Structure 1
Amino acid sequence: MRVQVLASVMNEEPRELIGRMRLASDAVIINQCDRLGAEEIEHEGYLIKFYSFPDRGVGRSRNEAIMRADGDICLFSDADIVYEPGYAEAVAEEFRRNHDADMILFNVTVNEMRKTYHITERKRVHWYNCGRYGAVSFAVRRSSLLSSGVMFSLLFGGGAKYSNGEDSLFLKEFMDRGYSVYTAPVTIARETEGESSWFEGYSRKFFQDRGVLYRYLYGRLYGIMALRFLLAHRDKLCREVPLKQAYRWMCSAAKEGKRSESLEG
């Protein structure tokens, strides 16, 4: 069972990136930069395919990686991820023990301010709690991914109109099409400290973008789920913006999501 990392990065030099991420598996890396190019690098017995494109957008680059993947298990990643020793075997072992899983979500250690989840047990993921997981926690059987036809949205995420949420939409659409997603209490990587490409604090835009996302994720339940989100994280989210104001921004922006006919991508 071959694990292959699919990474979306920007303006990176391949060998420096490979070492920094501590890659110990095959990988497909999509580098958003100002040139076109492709090269294959042998690294400690693994094959790293490195593609450079001038196109921007995390959803677009993740889709490019999917189309070039050939491993059994696809593990999504970013340039600020550093893998733990033995991560590929740990991922493969979880799929061996759970034959029903089309996708498994893993722990990735992040700064406490950015932490949205911590997995402590193996259980199935459902529509109402899929919004907390980032793409770097996703490992998916490539056969299931291809048969599902699911790709990342071009409307949400870094470089898109709405600043984040492409991972949540991807996960929910995958489940909506009948594929099973489970969690595993296994830490496979950590996120390094750095400046986010999209996060600029808990501003009006943050709450408005989240409101549109919740409309797509939860339909008519967006108001209830928005309130649930704010109450669960009010100590972090509402230090500068009152909860009632944040809720109004989320709900008013959700109407924009209701008027939109479809997602792009």
Structure 2
Amino acid sequence: MNISEKTHIPFEILVATTNRTTLDFIDNMFKNNVLEHYHLLIINQTSEHKLLVSHKPNIRVINAFETGLSRSRNLAIQHAIGDICLLADDDVVFLEGFENKIMESYDQLKDADLITFKTITTENKPYSDYPKKVTGLEDFYRKVLSIEITFKRDVILKNNISFNENFGLGSVFQDCENRLFFEDVFTTKQIKAYFSPEFIVVHKPFSTSDEVTSDRYMFARSALFYKKHGVFGWLYVIKLLFSLVRNNYIGFGEVSHKLQVAKKSIDTFKHMIHGK
């Protein structure tokens, strides 16, 4: 039976990519595993002249003529058929036996609807400062990568959880989409979310100093602060700038420019939401 004819499968990987015309990139992602053992749904954001086609029974493809990582994630969630789904990007490498770790975690955490895991870097170090044991996500979710997120598809759909399409790479505000996703999860009070201290995926390391000093980061954060706190969001902007200066990520002479970025961000957000 072709996978497209099935109503559901136990585990599915939802891959976000752009402008692909071949499936060659998948080989590196599964170099530690047997690709044919896994079910994939690939969202390829592209143009009508650069289409991706799959002739593999375990790989489905949707060519989407739109941009934005959050839109890609949402489209994948809507069309997923796996009972448990894992979000993925096209530049990750899955560790050997990663699916077993995921499924065993759901077996052990009987009430879990969403579980996040750990990433190891290409330098063989933990990507982040993770908790040492299984824990709830309320105090840790701000550090979670999307490639670490797994969930029960029916629970996410039932509770109308999705990624905010104004945030994330390729959107107006190119960050903070994971944070908003988890805040929606916690707001429902219906979804049990956990962290599991198991490594499942490899990704290149992240430079905190490069990220937090970027205008992209300030632009997204400022919109997030205003979305959550209204005019009082400016207090959080000031707090963020103070932290950046105190930790020597930016110099005092850069504060004026960052405030201009913040103002442009908040004005943009207000215009998008309120039309003014």
**Residues 7, 79 of structure 1: 8 Å contact kept:** yes
Cα deviation, 1:13-64, whole Å, max 9, x if unaligned, reads: 443122111055211011112235653514xxxx111222222111111111
**Residues 101, 181 of structure 1: 8 Å contact kept:** yes
Counterpart residue number, 2:159: 148
The normalised TM-score by structure 1 is 0.78
Between the aligned partners of 1:129 and 1:249, the Cα distance in structure 2 is 30
Alpha-carbon shift at residue 4 of structure 1 (Å): 0.8
For residue 122 of structure 1, the aligned residue among 134, 158, 178 is 134
**Residues 204, 246 of structure 1: 8 Å contact kept:** no
Counterpart residue number, 1:20: 28
Q: Which runs of 5+ in 1 are unaligned?
A: none
Counterpart residue number, 2:15: 7
**Residues 169, 217 of structure 1: 8 Å contact kept:** no
Alignment CA distance shift 1:66-1:41 (3 Å): same
**Residues 113, 152 of structure 2: 8 Å contact kept:** yes
Q: Which runs of 4+ in 1 moved over 6 A?
A: none
Alignment CA distance shift 1:234-1:60 (3 Å): farther
Alignment of 1:176-255 (within 5 A): 176-178=187-189, 179-192=191-204, 202-216=213-227, 223=235, 227=239, 231=243, 235=247, 238-239=249-250, 248=259, 252=263, 255=266
Q: RMSD in angstroms over aligned alpha carbons? A: 3.6
Q: Which runs of 5+ in 2 are unaligned?
A: 1-8
Between the aligned partners of 1:116 and 1:233, the Cα distance in structure 2 is 23
**Residues 244, 250 of structure 2: 8 Å contact kept:** no
Between the aligned partners of 2:70 and 2:262, the Cα distance in structure 1 is 25
Between the aligned partners of 1:107 and 1:233, the Cα distance in structure 2 is 30
Between the aligned partners of 1:233 and 1:106, the Cα distance in structure 2 is 32
- 1:60 matched to 2:60? The reply is no
State the secondary structure of the residue aligned to 1:5: strand
Using the TM superposition, name which of 33-42 and 93-102 deviates more.
33-42
Between the aligned partners of 1:202 and 1:33, the Cα distance in structure 2 is 30
State the secondary structure of the residue aligned to 2:112: coil
Alignment CA distance shift 1:204-1:192 (3 Å): closer
**Residues 132, 197 of structure 2: 8 Å contact kept:** yes
Structure with greater Cα Rg: 2
Counterpart residue number, 1:30: 43
**Residues 106, 185 of structure 1: 8 Å contact kept:** yes
For residue 168 of structure 2, the aligned residue among 154, 157, 163 is 157
Between the aligned partners of 2:142 and 2:264, the Cα distance in structure 1 is 18
Alignment CA distance shift 1:104-1:141 (3 Å): same
State the secondary structure of the residue aligned to 2:136: coil
Alignment CA distance shift 1:234-1:106 (3 Å): farther
Between the aligned partners of 1:190 and 1:157, the Cα distance in structure 2 is 21
Alignment CA distance shift 1:168-1:193 (3 Å): same
Alignment CA distance shift 1:115-1:187 (3 Å): closer
Q: Which amino acid aligns with 1:29?
A: I
Percent identity of equivalent pairs: 21
Alignment of 1:16-95 (within 5 A): 16-22=24-30, 23=35, 24-35=37-48, 38-42=53-57, 47-95=58-106
Alignment CA distance shift 1:258-1:193 (3 Å): closer
State the secondary structure of the residue aligned to 2:134: coil
Alpha-carbon shift at residue 70 of structure 1 (Å): 0.7
Between the aligned partners of 2:87 and 2:121, the Cα distance in structure 1 is 16
Alignment CA distance shift 1:193-1:14 (3 Å): farther
